[in-house]
């Protein structure tokens, strides 16, 4: 059995009275893309910052390649590539010089550095802009250069904190392909995102994080089984809470997930005829203004776990 590259056990972190990370544990294996999916403020960046030892943990243990992460362990840093959420580049330097600077910190020089620079700039599609100062780059181009820097020294563990925010669909597609190719070479990847579609598309396993805690963990299909063989119906109209509660109690095995006077969300068995539900609603005088039917996906998993909709 392969040993995990990263082991995180019972991690805790508080900022004053705010518990930003609560009892978080997970493992990332070689060649695996493990996702942390959660809304703003879930605790994703705080978790990553503890793993790369930018931030001390209050409690818990982190192990990389079987070695405990301590406040300063430079040999571990050598094995880790970090792409931070807040872009870390020297604006007045061009792409090549930024890569040289960071490469130097990782002990790369000479021909090796040169060939890595060339290879990575081409992979992130910046070869034509390599000699322009970064201050002239768009936000998306800076993100792409940030990723190239994270990959420069060919790390065993890559920590990516929302690397695709603000980049166009084509560049995003390229970036996701590049990340998958890195994993295929054996790199263990921790990928945080608040994009459900990215998590669904990219991650081999993922954890749903909310208010500092991991609510569920597994492959996409394992997580989807949490909602069971059910569909989610979003129905738009004009609703009264008592009326809806009464109505739900007359329908067997239908659950009300969210209520809003203009929209309700129901969880219904997979094999229930949706027409039957609509007929009941219409018989009660409701005008259905819109209807959205969802098969199990990460959205419905999040809704089931938190009682809230996941909003990007």
Ligand X SMILES: Nc1ncnc2c1ncn2[C@@H]1O[C@H](COP(=O)(O)OP(=O)(O)OP(=O)(O)O)[C@@H](O)[C@H]1O
Residues near ligand X, by CB under 6 A = 15, 18, 20, 38, 40-46, 85, 194
28 binds, among Mg ion, ligand X, none (CB under 5 to 8 A by kind): none
Helix (H) or strand (E) holding 159: strand 157-161
**Residue 208 CB, nearest approach to ligand X (Å):** 12
**Residue 173 CB, nearest approach to ligand X (Å):** 22
90 binds, among Mg ion, ligand X, none (CB under 5 to 8 A by kind): none
Q: Show the 3-state SS of 102-155.
A: HHHHCCCCHHHHHHHHHHHHHHCCCHHHCCCEHHHCCHHHHHHHHHHHHHCCCC
40 binds, among Mg ion, ligand X, none (CB under 5 to 8 A by kind): ligand X
**Residue 61 CB, nearest approach to Mg ion (Å):** 22
Identify which of residues 45 and 300 has a Cβ nearer to Mg ion in the complex.
Answer: 45
231 binds, among ligand X, Mg ion, none (CB under 5 to 8 A by kind): none
Helix (H) or strand (E) holding 265: strand 263-269
User: How far is 284 from 293, CA to CA, in rounded Å?
Assistant: 21
Instruction: Tell me how far apart the 2 most distant CA atoms of the chain are, in Å.
Output: 77
User: How far is 209 from 196, CA to CA, in rounded Å?
Assistant: 12
Comparing CA positions, the residue from 230, 301, 305, 291 lying closest to residue 263 is 291
**Residue 45 CB, nearest approach to ligand X (Å):** 3
Identify which of residues 15 and 101 has a Cβ nearer to ligand X in the complex.
Answer: 15
Task: Compute the radius of gyration of the chain from its Cα atoms.
Answer: 23
User: How far is 216 from 35, CA to CA, in rounded Å?
Assistant: 12
User: How far is 233 from 300, CA to CA, in rounded Å?
Assistant: 10
Helix (H, G, I), strand (E, B) or coil at 54: coil
| Interacting residues toward Mg ion by CB under 5 A | 44-45, 85
**Residue 62 CB, nearest approach to Mg ion (Å):** 18
CA dihedral 62, 217, 155, 122 (to 10 degrees): -150
**Residue 65 CB, nearest approach to ligand X (Å):** 25
Identify which of residues 46 and 117 has a Cβ nearer to Mg ion in the complex.
Answer: 46
46 binds, among ligand X, Mg ion, none (CB under 5 to 8 A by kind): ligand X
Identify which of residues 290 and 311 has a Cβ nearer to ligand X in the complex.
Answer: 311
Identify which of residues 180 and 211 has a Cβ nearer to ligand X in the complex.
Answer: 211
270 binds, among ligand X, Mg ion, none (CB under 5 to 8 A by kind): none
């Amino acid at each position: 059995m392969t040993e995990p590259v990263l082991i995180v056990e019972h991690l805790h972190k508080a900022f004053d009275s705010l518990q930003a990370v609560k009892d978080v544990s997970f493992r990332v294996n070689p060649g695996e893309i493990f996702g942390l999916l959660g809304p703003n403020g879930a605790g994703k960046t705080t978790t990553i910052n503890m793993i790369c030892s930018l931030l001390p943990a209050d409690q818990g243990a982190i192990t990389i390649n079987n070695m405990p992460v301590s406040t300063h362990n430079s040999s571990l840093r050598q094995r880790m590539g970090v792409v931070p959420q807040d872009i870390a580049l020297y604006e007045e330097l061009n792409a090549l010089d930024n890569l040289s600077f960071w490469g130097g910190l990782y002990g790369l020089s000479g021909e090796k550095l040169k060939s890595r620079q060339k290879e990575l700039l081409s992979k992130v599609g910046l070869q034509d802009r390599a000699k322009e100062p970064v201050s002239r780059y768009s936000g998306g181009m800076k993100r792409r250069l940030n990723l190239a820097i994270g990959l420069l020294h060919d790390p065993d563990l890559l920590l990516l904190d929302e690397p695709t925010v603000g980049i166009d669909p084509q560049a995003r597609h390229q970036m996701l392909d590049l990340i998958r190719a890195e994993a295929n070479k054996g790199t263990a990847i921790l990928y945080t995102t608040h994009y459900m579609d990215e998590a669904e598309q990219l991650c081999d396993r993922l954890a749903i994080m909310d208010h500092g805690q991991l609510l569920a963990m597994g492959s996409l299909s394992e997580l989807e089984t949490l909602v069971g063989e059910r569909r989610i119906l979003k129905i738009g109209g004009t609703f009264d809470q008592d009326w809806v509660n009464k109505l739900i109690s007359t329908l067997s095995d239908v659950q009300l997930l969210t209520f809003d006077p203009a929209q309700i969300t129901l969880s219904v068995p997979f094999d229930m005829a949706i027409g039957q539900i609509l007929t009941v609603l219409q018989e009660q005088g409701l005008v259905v203004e819109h209807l959205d039917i969802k098969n199990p996906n990460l959205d419905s998993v999040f809704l089931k776990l938190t009682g809230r909709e996941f909003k990007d």
